[in-house]
Structure 1
């Protein structure tokens, strides 16, 4: 892990998802219907918990239209991760 990854309050560079990142994404998106978000990479920020910015490919079946979106998720130290916002880019 690089030193910059440990800076409290600073965002990491976007990087490939770890299994833990994927678990946080899946927990936060559980029950979400409509648009399907497929995370491609993630940036994190250590706060009182962890903020995540997942860069995703988004699709809305049955259409073949694909766009990019940022899904922001907050994972508290104790508790369930949840979606804070979703921005189409």
Structure 2
């Protein structure tokens, strides 16, 4: 990892999801209905826990139309991750 990636408070460059990133996303988005989100890139920020910005493809349950979203998820040091925001980009 580069110094930038380890900088507390700084955001990493976007990268493909690791299995751990996917697990955080799945746990936070569990229970959301009506829209299907498929994350494809993530950026993280180390704070008192970790902030995540997931770039996602979103679609209605019917599969169409498809649009891009940014899902903000916070994962505390102790406790469960949760969605802070979902915005259309």
The alpha carbon displacement at 1:63 in A equals: 4.7
Find the residue that maps to 2:67 and give its secondary structure: strand
Q: Give the aligned length.
A: 89
Q: In the alignment, which residue of structure 1 is the partner of 2:30?
A: 30
- What is the CA deviation profile of residues 27-61 of structure 1, one whole-angstrom value per residue up to 9, with x for unaligned ones? 10111111111001000000000000000000002
TM-score (norm 2): 0.96
Q: In the alignment, which residue of structure 1 is the partner of 2:54?
A: 54
Q: In the alignment, which residue of structure 1 is the partner of 2:40?
A: 40
Where do 5+ consecutive residues of structure 2 fail to align? Answer: none
2:57 is aligned with 1:21: no
The alpha carbon displacement at 1:70 in A equals: 0.1
Find the residue that maps to 1:62 and give its secondary structure: coil
CA distance in 2 between counterparts of 1:36 and 1:63 reads 8
